[in-house]
Amino acid sequence: MKKPLVVIILCLFLFACTKEKQPNFVFILVDDLGWADVKCNHPQSFYDTPNIDKLAQSGVRFTNAYAANPVCSPTRAALMTGKHPNRVNITDWIPGNDPKKRQLLGTVDSNELALNEITIAEKLKEKGYKTGFFGKWHLGDTGFFPEDQGFDINIGGHHMGHPPGGYYSPYNNPKLPDGPEGEYLTDRLTNESIQFIQQNKKEPFLLYLAFYTVHTPIQAAQKHIQKYETKRAQLEITEVPHQKEGMGWTKMIQENAAYASMVAAMDENVGRVLQALKEQGLDENTWVIFTSDNGGLSTLYRENAPTSNSPLRAGKGWCYEGGIRAPLIISGPDITEPGKTVDQPAISMDYFTTVLNLAGIEHQNNDGENLLPVLTSSGSLQRDELFWHYPHYHGSAWTPGSALRKGDWKLIVFYEDNRTELYNLATDPGEQTDIAEQNPEKVAELKAILDNKLADTNARFPIPNPDYDPRD
């Protein structure tokens, strides 16, 4: 009778150990945070990000990481599903704002992530993970919220893409009770996230913290504003430089003190989350992914956007590097070279694939690569091509188009006049010199690859507007 009892106890012990070894995942998504908004990416940045820089020192920083799309909702759909935005037919921010008097009519895409799409939360729940969503959702209205897509908890996630009541309570958010007067939204979402960590420290969890910041409205974090107002005055700028971009203007320097204070508040709260993991003894068994949903908002029809992505070109809404290049830092228990930088391109769909591989969960039908070989220095990525499709007009002055990166080559296609531009990112990372005319064979090669990828993902294209009048 004793032997079976010993076997049962041993099995329970092994089960407990196995369960304990399941890693936790903390996914931190910052809205509209540009590649150059993070100090470790751009040492000349006007903004200070000590906690993010510290995370990079303990993890792996990707220098060529990309969002799946130059605006938010498509990228968020890609993060949730591991699929290219074309495949889920979300190619614009929801609900979009396609004009009716321009040369082209934008494609009709979906206003929600379909419930039959399998999300990262639903996959992790297959292996007993507790799942919590905190912050911006922007992938559908009632019936399509995080709690309908695999999340056990939803704090703050609803249909709007910006905080409806601003960054100070009252929030006017149906999924977030108001806090005390003067409470700052970024702090509140972090408080809720830390409580989730504390309550679920004994079981594996996914914490998906999707900050609303640094999206407009630009509202200073009072705790940090004085520092940056002083820093702004020290710049002694008499005129903020801009560069013409199509029908719009791109801001060329970072100088907005209020925006800087929002970045500082976000960085401070990233540090609070990391500290909470450490205090609960979870830091050595938790993977942390920090990234953004698109480039910083630097280009508008008017001057003086909130930030600048320089030396990259343009910003949110554009398929130039400033609109799609994003910060990416991944830290976790199997990192073999803390502080390493990786130049191989990564993109939003990769995180779905990587997380599920780390969790030991089978998956299929996604467009991401497993980044683990790069994270563990055991191999490299075989993929050589990335592509983007944004067939809509945008308030940044972008006109419908697509782009492809293959190696160091970058092709951009504009659909109004079927114009192509070609850049070599190795010699021209700022995309200042279009070399399409000098390289017709390379343009044709890349265009053929792009066309095949668009067809493979069931891409939809804008159509000529029969009511267009250039005189309007």
14 burial type by CB count under 10 A (0-12 exposed, 13-18 middle, 19+ buried):
exposed
For the chain, helix, strand, coil in percent to 5 are: 30, 20, 50
Q: Which two tokens stand for residue 363?
A: 């998956």
Residue with tokens 């114009």: 419
pLDDT in tens, the chain (472 residues): 444 554 444 444 444 444 457 999 999 999 999 999 999 999 999 999 999 999 999 999 999 999 999 999 999 999 999 999 999 999 999 999 889 999 999 999 999 999 999 999 999 999 999 999 999 999 999 999 999 999 999 999 999 999 999 999 999 999 999 999 999 999 999 999 999 999 999 999 999 999 999 999 999 999 999 999 999 999 999 999 999 999 999 999 999 999 999 999 999 999 999 999 999 999 999 999 999 999 999 999 999 999 999 999 999 999 999 999 999 999 999 999 999 999 999 999 999 999 999 999 998 878 999 999 999 998 889 899 999 999 999 999 999 999 999 999 999 999 999 999 999 999 999 999 999 999 999 999 999 999 999 999 999 999 999 999 888 7
Q: State the sign of the Cα–Cα–Cα–Cα dihedral 213, 217, 220, 221.
A: negative
DSSP H/E element including 207: strand 205-211
**Hey, what long-range contacts does 404-412 have (CB within 8 A, 24 or more apart)?**
404/446, 404/449, 404/450, 404/453, 405/66, 405/345, 406/446, 406/449, 409/442, 409/446, 410/321, 411/443, 411/446, 411/447, 411/450, 412/319, 412/320
Complete edge-to-edge strand list for the sheet that includes strand 24-30: 153-155, 130-135, 205-211, 24-30, 286-292, 328-331, 60-62, 340-342
The confidence score (pLDDT) of residue 394 equals 98
The confidence score (pLDDT) of residue 471 equals 80
How far, in whole angstroms, is CA 47 from its chain's centroid? 19
For 24-383, give the CATH class: alpha beta
The confidence score (pLDDT) of residue 366 equals 87
Cα gap 269→191, rounded to integer Å: 9
Domain ranges of the chain: 24-383
Cβ atoms of 126 and 153 closer than 8 Å: no
Q: Which two tokens stand for residue 77?
A: 């759909």
Choose among 319, 325, 346: nearest CA to 404: 319
Q: Which two tokens stand for residue 129?
A: 């993970």
Question: In the chain, what is the straight-line distance between the N-terminal and C-terminal CA atoms, in Å?
Answer: 90
Cα gap 345→352, rounded to integer Å: 16
